[in-house]
Amino acid sequence: MGISNWGMVWTLVMPIALIVYYLYRKKYRDQQVSSILYWQQVMKEMQASPYLKKLQHHALFYLQLAALLLLVFALLNPYFESDSLEGGEFIFVIDTSASMLAGTPSQLESQKELMKEMAEKAEGKPVTIINAGTTPEILASMEQSAVRLNRVINAIELGYESPELEKTLLFAETLANDDSAVIHIFTDSLDRTILSNKTGAAYVVHANNEKPSNISILQFGVAEGETTDRAIVQLFNDSAETVTGRLELAGDEFKEIADIELAPGEEQLIPFENLPKMEIWQAALDVNDEYILDNEAFAYINRPTGTVIIDNRLHGLVARGLDSLGIQVNTAATDQLTSFTESPLVTNQSDLVEEPVPVLLIGRDDESPVEATGSVETVDHPLFAYAPMEDVFVSQIYPGFDGFETVATVGGEPFIQLSPEGDIIVLADIQATDWPLSPSFPLFLWSAVDELSGSENYIGTFSPKEQRAIALASPSGEWEIFKGDEYQSSYIEGEGSFQAPGEPGIYRAVSGDETKNFIVQLNNEEKNLAAGQNFTAGTPVESENITQLSLIPVILLLILMLMLVEWEVYRRGTSFG
C-alpha cells in the first residue's frame, strides 16, 4: 500500500482540534443539593475526574474523531498496487464458429471465462472485444469498466459461421491506437503461419490444448435411380477409441437405421438402397462424442430437367461432359438460344446473363482473355462439394463481372462467379484449361445443371449466416422463416440479400399459402477439430504493468457509515459521561 498525496497531511489539525474542543469545552450538569454546604464537596469531585475519564464516556466524540481521521486518510490518497496485463490496451478476438461448441464444457464457455478473468486483470486499461466472422463485429470499444465487459462477454453466443480469423486480425490491427496494444485471440486452434509476418501489435493466442473426441458425417449425398433413390454417407472417427452407434436416415415419415462401428481414424461409406422418391433427406448419428453439430447432415435431390440447351459454338468437350451424365443435350445456334425459356442454357454469350432463363456461361464473347498465373482456390460452396478444383490448370481467364459473387479464383483473380439471379459464370474457355482431363469436370457440370434447374419449392443450400441474392416473390412481399414449427426470422423482399439462419438444419420460408424449403449446412472446415497451442507472437512496447487501486471509495463508504451511526447516537441522546 502507498500514499500519493502527502501534501494533505496538514489536515491532521482537524482531528486535533476536535480533541482539544472536547477536552476544554465547558460541561454543565444539573445537580440538586439539600444545602449550600454540599457545593464545595460536589466541585471537588468534578475537578478530581481526569480528562481521559471524561472522554471515554462520549460516544459522539469517538465517532466524530474516527470520521475525521478517515477523511484525512482519504485526502492523502492511499492505494494498493496490483499487477495488470502486459500492454497498454487490449483487443480480444473471440472465435464463435461452430467448432467452439466442442468439449465439455464447450470451448466457447471456457474461453469466455478466461476472457472475464483477463478483463479483471486489465485493471482499467481500455479493452476492445471483436466477434470474429465473415463480417467482424465490435462488441465493446475501448471499454474500461470490468462490470460492463463482463456483461458483454456473458452475452456472446455461438455464431456457427466460419471465423475468418486472418481477415478479422487485419481488422483488429486497424483498431490498435499505439504499439503497446496486445491482441488476444480466443479460439480452438490457430495456424502459426497466420501471425508469421505480423508487425506492430503483439499477439497472444489462447487455444484448446486437448483435442475433443469426434465422430462426424463428412459427406452425405442422395442420387436418383429409375424407380428408387439411393444414398451414401461418409463417416469418420476422429478419436482415439473405437466407437459404436447408429446412423439414421430420414425423409418425411420414412426412416432407416444402420448400426455402425468405427475404429480410431477409420472412414466408412454407409450405403442406403431402395429409398422412396423424396426431395429432402437428413442423416443423423447417434454416438457418444464431444461435438454434436457434425452428427447431422442434409441433402436435397433435385429432379433436374432432362434437357440442356448448349450453344453449338462451344467446344465439343462441354457437350460430351454433359452427355456422360445421362443428361439430354440439344445444340442450338447462337441466335436461337433466346427462344428456349424452360431449359438451362450453356453458352459464352454474355448478354444472355441478363435474360430470365438460367445460364451456365463458359467464357465471354464481349471481352478478351488475359494470361492467368497461380492455382485455383475455391470457397465452401455446393458447386464444389463433389468437384474439387485444386489440381485444375488454367492458362487464360476473362475479366470478372462487377457485383457478382466470386466462388473460385486463379491467382487471386475471379474464375467462377455467381450472378445475383443465380447464373453460373466460368471465366475461361474450356480449351484454355486441362479441366476436361479431370474427373471433377463432369461432376462440376452435374452440380451446375442441378443448381440451375432449381425447384419451385426449394430455395437452395446455404452456409450458416450466408448472404445471397435469391428470387422470391409473393403477394405480401414478406416471408417468415421456420425451423420445424419454431419461428426464426422474417425476410422482406427487396431489402438487401437474403441471410440464412446460423444453426444448421432444414428450414421453411412461408408467405401466405406458399412454402419454400432450404437447407443450412455446416461448413466442412467446421467438421475438422484439432488441438491448438498457446503461443505469443511479438512483444508490446514497454508500458506500466503496475496498477494503483485507490482506497478512497472504500474510505468514503466507511465515513458514510460512521455518520449514520453518529446520527443515530445523537438522535437517541446517548452519552456515557
Residues 6 or more apart in contact with residue 539 via CB below 8 angstroms: 202
Residue 267 confidence (pLDDT): 94
Highest averaged pLDDT of the listed ranges 36-40, 457-461, 571-575: 457-461
In this prediction, residues 460-473 reach a mean pLDDT of 81
Mean pLDDT across 73-97:
79
The amino acid at residue 275 is L
3-state secondary structure of 346: strand
- Summarize the confidence of residues 205-210 as an average pLDDT: 90
Cell 455446393 identifies what position?
Answer: 382
* Residue bearing cell 482540534: 17
Q: Identify whether 105 is preceded by a cis peptide bond (ω within 30 of 0).
A: yes
pLDDT higher than 70, residue 6: no
**Nearest-angstrom CA–CA distance, 361 and 238:** 40
Q: Provide the greatest CA pair distance for the chain.
A: 143
Task: List the single range of 58-62, 398-402, 522-526 with lowest mean pLDDT.
Answer: 58-62
Q: Single out the residue of 219, 232, 95, 161 nearest to residue 523, CA to CA.
A: 161
pLDDT tens-place string over residues 503-552: 999 999 999 888 889 999 998 888 888 888 888 887 655 545 555 567 77
**Sequence ranges of the chain with CATH classification 2.60.40.10:** 215-303, 458-524
Question: Per-residue pLDDT for 475 more than 90?
Answer: no
**Whole-number Cα distances in Å, 385 to 84, 194, 379, 445:** 49, 26, 10, 12
Question: Does 2.40.10.480 match the CATH number of domain 307-453?
Answer: no
Helix 146-154 × helix 107-121 angle, to 10°: 170
Could you tell me the pLDDT band of residue 575, with boundaries at 50, 70 and 90?
very low
Render pLDDT for 223-258 as a digit per residue (tens, 0 to 9): 877 788 999 999 999 998 999 999 999 988 899 999
Mean pLDDT of 104-128: 90
Q: Is the pLDDT of residue 56 over 50?
A: no
User: Could you tell me the three cell numbers for 29?
Assistant: 450538569
Contact between residue 231 and residue 223 where contact means Cβ atoms under 8 Å apart: yes
Residue 58 has pLDDT above 70, yes or no: no
Confidence of residue 43 (pLDDT cuts 50, 70, 90): low
DSSP string, 254-302: EEEEEEEEE-TT-EEEEEEEEE---SEEEEEEE---S--GGGEEEEE--
Rounded Cα distance between 224 and 226, Å, is 7
- CA dihedral 382→386→390→394, nearest 10 degrees, is -80
| DSSP per residue, 473-525 | --SSSEEEEEETTEEEEEEETTSS-EE--SS-EEEEEEETTEEEEEEE---GG
Which of 11-25, 286-300, 516-530 is most confident? 286-300
Query: Higher-confidence residue: 126 or 65?
Result: 126
Q: Worst-scoring range by mean pLDDT, 79-88, 194-203, 429-438?
A: 79-88
Residue 401 has pLDDT above 90, yes or no: yes
Q: What whole-number distance in Å separates Cα of residue 220 and Cα of residue 204?
A: 38
Q: What is the dihedral of CA 193, 87, 210, 270, to 10 degrees?
A: -50
Confidence band of 46 (pLDDT split at 50, 70, 90): low
- d(C-alpha 436, C-alpha 443), whole Å: 11
How is domain 85-211+529-544 classified at the CATH fold level? Rossmann fold (3.40.50)
Q: What number does CATH give the domain 215-303? A: 2.60.40.10
C-alpha cell at 402: 462487377
Between 126 and 301, whose confidence is greater?
126
Share of the chain above pLDDT 70, in %: 84
Query: Cell numbers at residue 1, please?
Result: 500500500
Give percent of the chain with pLDDT exceeding 90.
37
Contacts of 336 (CB under 8 A, 6+ apart): none
Residue type, 496: G
Over residues 312-333, mean pLDDT: 84
Beta bridge partners of 329: 308
**Class of CATH domain 458-524:** mainly beta
Instruction: Tell me how far apart the alpha carbons of residues 290 and 446 are, in angstroms, rounded to a whole number.
Output: 36
Instruction: List, in sequence order, every residue forming a beta bridge with 189; answer none if it has no partner.
Output: none
pLDDT (mean) for 247-274: 93
CA-based nearest residue to 478, from 460, 464, 498: 498
Residues 459 and 405: their CA atoms lie apart, in Å, by: 17
52 or 66, which is more confident: 66
Its pTM stands at 0.63
User: Of the given ranges (20-24, 204-208, 523-527, 561-565), which has the lowest mean pLDDT?
Assistant: 20-24
Q: What Å distances lie between residue 29 and 18, 26, 36, 47, CA to CA?
A: 21, 10, 16, 13
The pLDDT, as a whole number, for residue 127 is: 93
Residue span(s) of the chain under CATH 3.40.50.880 come to: 307-453
pLDDT at 47: 54
In tens, the pLDDT along 117-164 reads: 999 888 778 999 999 988 899 999 999 888 999 999 999 999 888 888
Q: In the chain, which residues fall in CATH 3.40.50.410?
A: 85-211+529-544
- pLDDT at position 577 is 43
What's the pLDDT score for residue 576?
Answer: 42
Q: What is the pLDDT of residue 128?
A: 95
Return mean pLDDT, the chain: 83
Q: Is the pLDDT assigned to residue 49 strictly greater than 70?
A: no
Whose CA is closest to 246, among 283, 291, 275, 276? 283
Q: Measure the CA–CA gap between 556 and 561, rounded to whole angstroms.
A: 9
Task: Give the amino acid at 35.
Answer: S
